[in-house]
Structure 1
Amino acid sequence: MQPPGEKARWTLARGTNFLAALLRQGAPVLASTPRDLPSEVDDEEPVPALRRMGAMAASQVGAPRDPLMIRATRYAVLSPMAYRIFLLPVVWLSMVIAYGPAPVPTVLAWLGIVGNVAGAVWVLRVPDRRGRLNKLLLKVDVGYALVATLLVSVTVPAELYWPGSWIAVVYLTGTVALWTISRGILAGLFLVLSGFAAQCLALWLAPLPSIGSHEIAGVVRGGGLLVVAVVTGAGSLVLLGLATRLALAIGLRLGQGAERARTERALHDTILQALEAIALSSDADDADPRGELTRVRQAALAQANELRRVLQENAASDGLAAELATLATEMARDGLRAELSISDIGDDRLSDARRVAVRDAAREALRNTIKHAGTHEVVVRLEELDGGVAVITRDHGVGYDEGERPAGFGVSESMRARLAEVGGWCRIESQPGRGTRVTMWVPR
């Protein structure tokens, strides 16, 4: 669920380019995940940096926001927090060395340090799904920065005014950067004006003998630092936004490639195999045409069910051994007798990705046995090997010379590439007249 008012703010961003929306609304725009991006963004060929960045900046903000990306945008505020966590102790220590400890600036400095450490821990560890606490903390941060600015001026003696005020200035610059990143450049500029006004008021309230050019120059320096904080925050926001867009573009390209490879494998392992099996001729074609028609229909129905299962791959599994037993039954319908040998390996439950990879690689190995081995029998073993799980198929068919036959799609893509993607491997050993042994291994 999005925070109150978030829907309206997001609607304003629709149809505008990414960079404009990012500068106007801040980090929440980073959560937009477009379905497509300009080709220049992830072009693998050398592209001028300005052209690539321009393509990313001009991409449209119109896609729904991803919940995971929404939560990840909170991490953008860690940079201003880290700035204050490391700089406040330095400013406080320099004041102590030069003028001795002052109670109020010391309390303000260490409250700021502890508060920012707690805020960073909260951002990293506590999920704020509605965003309400995030808004509240941003408002509290502004209040603390402005109160600290005024409190220093009315509590410290004249000689400690400027050293003490630098603690408030450091905190206030962090606040400006924080709001620029979180809510956009307009929010940052508004805080610059508010902070500059607070510094002028603090100077007027300070117990100084007089307000001259030196004092006015100090306020101008503080205001200049606030402007620098806006520029720095906006620059960080732009770089983070462009990096996010580039990562999204690369992820989209890789994801589309992976999905295309998955679809090719699914079609190869189901429909293509079924069509090849149906196309095989046998002596029974003329002797028992009705029986052959029944066999074709059964094969088509079985492959339709298998394709449906591939498209709905989220079903719970009883383990790899159970899947291999189901696979043996499937192969039996095509005339291959698979003898299962299951070693006592304890728990054979693998991650879904590894289980599916080794199971489908085993299916392809058994399909190759049907098509090429010249035998109707194969042994399938499941055993523990090198700290992982191995499925080994062994037939005593005709075999082949590995040096003379190049690996086809089934071996290179459906078996080896599939296993390599999950950290496994496939090894094929075959000799003419001595059959074929295929070892498929995945880590636990």
Structure 2
Amino acid sequence: MDSRSEALSRASSRSSARRAERGIALVAPTMRAVVLVQILLAAASGAGVAEHRGAYWALTLSVVAVSLLLIVQCLVTGSVRRGAWHVPDLLLAWLAVPAMNLLLPDPFVVGTWEAWASGFAVNVGALAAAWLPPGVAMVHGVALGGWYLAWTLTANTTSWETSLSNALTIPGYALVVALLTHYLRGLAVDADQSREDAVAATRALELERYQLTVHDASSILRLLSDEDTPAEVLPGLRLQADREAQRLRTYLGAEPARIDSSARTVGTMLAHALEGFEDLPVEPAVALGAHVELDDAVWTAVGRAVTTVLHNVRLHAKADQVVVHADTDGSTWEVVVSDDGVGFDQGNQPLGFGLDTQVGQALRDVGVTVDVSSAPGRGTSVTITGPVAEVDA
């Protein structure tokens, strides 16, 4: 994956958090707009009964100005977490509660929109929970509700139960909004993390697929470019290089070569896999299992696995003898590639990419088992075992 596509993946992986924040930034101005309309509808009536008409209008217009600032900044920035309206909004909510008690007659203080402080306080407490930390937002909501209750109880209005219910509404809405925004943001973070994990997994899969594609080809190219490679090895390497070129063209989208269904046997698979390894001291002993038929996927996977094993032998084993044996007991078939080379310590030296992934994982994916046995100075033996197709049985 190139740097540009990686940058695009990173940008898209953060889109859930941005969408969640923009969603909250759309809901907040909508909530405020509803409250603002209610305040403006009752403002003329409230000013008419207020003891200080000018002070009432000044407070109302201040709320209108801050609310318009809130709406514009939320829509422009796409976030409620930043804005010049934060502190003025909180101050006006705390100021409006006692102001309504002092400016309006007692019968208007509770239960009317002329005294819009309670509805405004509920909205401020709820929106503060969208940009303040949840714990701070709840403390603020409880404090603002207590402030409202303390002032309304001083007015000669309805029962204290009504004032208490109105006061409890402020922290109640703050709690609901705090929980909702916390959940939405957490959900967005989880979605972004899942997308990043998927991108990382895709990148790892692409890398593994690339390694699978070029592993054998890189071995061939390395030997072809090495001036010390014996001349008698070069014809076989060229044959293998041509085969790898055809396979890479297939990988890039060319039409794959078709295999005659009658030729998909262990024998033809091994004959194809052994081409180009005339420089190795290979002794084939495949007559006992050569007739066993394989399906396309197994034929291809096992053939590539045997080729990879032989590439490893050529590069690392320093073997004097390589035996390729095939056999069957009627229910299973077996292919064994053994060499008498240097071997390796399986306890302390993990399998390389070729044996572990190119051979082991690739064959397990098509239902074929692999066993690797090696020891220092005793060579290496790779045993490949699969079920005989039902038609053969």
TM-score, normalised to structure 1, is: 0.41
Give the number of the structure whose alpha-carbon radius of gyration is greater: 2
Query: When the two structures are superposed, what TM-score results if normalisation uses the length of structure 2?
Result: 0.45
